[in-house]
């Protein structure tokens, strides 16, 4: 019988009365037989436990990375002030932008003929690879040889929410499955005491794309990202309600599990299995999450290395927490740091006042994270990724005649970097033209980045799929157009 028809029948009053009648008759018969001594009570058979969908799975392909830490700078950091050094742009600072760069172009806020904006910051080459890096990132410059820079990223989205959705779900529309959900769907989790996919937020608010960025979409909801907080309860609604202790909670969950497993056996709905797993995981997390989230247990030297302070809601704390979480087997940790939307409408979002402050917030913790993972022997199989959702323009935005320096949204080129798990450190892939406006070599799309990440984890980007709406849905899109960037692989 069709599953939908079974579910519909199970919800009708007629079916309830039918099943209820059978149940009452069985109770009456059992009582009569016992009265006559014809049926002695027998112990109920132990229920067959359904396997957890988050059990670790062997990757189908050889894997260089076992886990991922993705550092997302929400708002899109200006690559021309951090990594993509353009002396010609500095030379032409505040001259009118060439008309050929403006023809048939759409901007979020720029109007008229804007002026070119050279970076006000000094650049130097670092490491044996000679990577160009801004003076705003002195700590990160010290680990340049562990990093592969991709300076030729591009996207087809120039507004924040659609661009972030495209980056993390493969679609610019809400409803897709997040990268962390895809990865835990394909590999499970090495920890059965913590969520397989954890989200940490700093900067004072959620990323522009909102909680859809860690949604499970059409995948079973057991692969949903779980947001953890650094202040108050780490995860909401995990603790026992008033009047219920851990022993009572355990007995309640055992009873609920039996009921849910009976329903699973009858209807086979995967969401029932999700419900079982989420109840059990929440129970285990009551003990494991407070321990994992307590950075006060770290040596003072380590906390100082990150610039972390127990109890604070900061990017530094989240970097240290990311290391603690992957150390305990969490498969995918996503950090979102909001506040990188440097339009230059005022001192709160310009590249002279706001950008140095944001760089100071992240520079030391990121460098500490890479060094800490390396010192513990974990960087070799932990993939660390840094970036935003698109780039920033080579021109000054000057919205409404603003005198503050800032850059508009720019989808044609931006920079991301990767380190660890299977990445060749000290290399730079791709380049942009002398004004940092268009890609000149090594063009790399969003789906290319996604395919490369999955490949490093031992997952086939084209075979990792889920049937939905008549299509084989993939992180790289149902059409499957992507290229693994082997130029940055070790």
Per-residue pLDDT tens for 235-280? 655 555 666 566 655 666 667 667 767 777 776 676 776 666 665 5
Cα–Cα distance measured from residue 72 to residue 69, given in angstroms and rounded to the nearest whole number: 10
pLDDT at position 135: 98
| Residue 415 CA: distances (Å) to CA of 105, 193, 249, 428, 429 | 20, 36, 49, 10, 10
Residues forming a β-bridge with 333: 69, 198
Q: Is 372 left (phi over 0), alpha (psi -120 to 50) or beta?
A: alpha
In this prediction, residue 350 has a pLDDT band, given cuts at 50, 70 and 90, of very high
Does the structure show a pLDDT above 70 at 310? Answer: yes
Average pLDDT, the chain: 87
Q: Which two tokens stand for residue 133?
A: 């890096």
Cα–Cα distance measured from residue 294 to residue 338, given in angstroms and rounded to the nearest whole number: 23
pLDDT at position 159: 96
pLDDT at position 14: 45
Q: Give the lowest-confidence range in 158-167, 305-314, 384-393, 448-457.
A: 305-314
pLDDT at position 285: 55
Tell me the per-residue pLDDT of 32-79, one tens digit each, with 9 for 90 and over. Answer: 445 444 444 444 444 455 577 889 999 999 999 999 999 999 999 999
The rounded Cα 362 to chain-centroid distance in angstroms is 17
């Amino acid at each position: 019988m069709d599953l939908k028809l079974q579910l519909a029948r199970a919800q009708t009053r007629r079916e309830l009365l039918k099943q209820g009648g059978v149940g009452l008759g069985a109770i009456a018969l059992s009582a009569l037989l016992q009265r006559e001594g014809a049926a002695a009570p027998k112990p109920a058979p132990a229920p067959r436990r359904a396997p957890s969908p988050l059990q670790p799975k062997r990757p189908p392909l050889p894997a260089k990375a076992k886990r991922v830490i993705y550092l997302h700078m929400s708002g899109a950091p200006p690559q021309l002030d951090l990594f993509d050094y353009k002396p010609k742009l500095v030379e032409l600072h505040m001259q009118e932008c060439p008309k050929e760069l403006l023809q048939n172009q759409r901007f979020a806020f720029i109007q008229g003929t804007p002026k070119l904006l050279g970076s006000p910051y000094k650049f130097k080459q670092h490491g044996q690879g000679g990577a160009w890096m801004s003076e705003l990132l002195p700590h990160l410059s010290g680990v340049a040889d562990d990093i592969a820079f991709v300076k030729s990223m591009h996207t087809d989205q120039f507004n924040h929410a659609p661009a972030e959705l495209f980056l993390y779900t493969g679609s610019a529309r809400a409803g897709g499955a997040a990268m962390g959900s895809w990865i835990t769907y394909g590999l499970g989790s090495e920890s059965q005491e913590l969520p397989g996919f954890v989200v940490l937020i700093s900067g004072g608010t959620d990323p522009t794309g909102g909680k859809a960025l860690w949604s499970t979409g059409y995948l079973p909801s057991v692969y949903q990202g779980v947001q953890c907080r650094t202040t108050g309860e780490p995860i909401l609604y995990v603790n026992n309600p008033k009047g219920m202790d851990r022993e009572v909670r355990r007995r309640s969950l055992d009873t609920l599990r039996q009921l849910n497993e009976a329903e699973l056996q009858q209807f086979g709905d995967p969401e029932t299995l999700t419900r079982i797993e989420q109840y059990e995981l929440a129970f285990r997390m009551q003990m494991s999450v407070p321990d994992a989230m307590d950075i006060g247990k770290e040596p003072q030297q380590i906390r100082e290395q990150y610039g972390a302070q127990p109890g604070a809601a900061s990017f530094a704390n989240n970097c240290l927490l990311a290391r603690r979480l992957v150390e305990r087997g969490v498969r995918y940790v996503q950090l979102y740091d909001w506040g990188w939307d440097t339009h230059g409408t005022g001192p709160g979002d310009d590249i002279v006042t706001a950008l140095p402050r944001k760089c100071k917030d992240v520079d030391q913790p990121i460098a500490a994270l890479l060094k800490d993972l390396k010192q513990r022997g974990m960087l070799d199989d932990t993939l660390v990724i840094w970036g935003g959702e698109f780039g920033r323009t080579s021109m000054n935005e000057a919205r409404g005649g603003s005198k503050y320096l800032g850059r508009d949204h720019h989808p044609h080129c931006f920079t991301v970097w990767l380190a660890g798990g299977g990445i060749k450190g000290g290399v730079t892939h791709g380049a942009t033209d002398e004004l940092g406006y268009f890609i000149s070599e090594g063009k790399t799309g969003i789906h290319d980045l996604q395919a490369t990440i999955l490949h490093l984890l031992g997952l086939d980007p084209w075979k990792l799929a889920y049937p939905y709406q008549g299509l084989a849905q993939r992180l790289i899109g149902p059409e499957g157009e992507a290229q693994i960037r082997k130029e940055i692989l070790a």
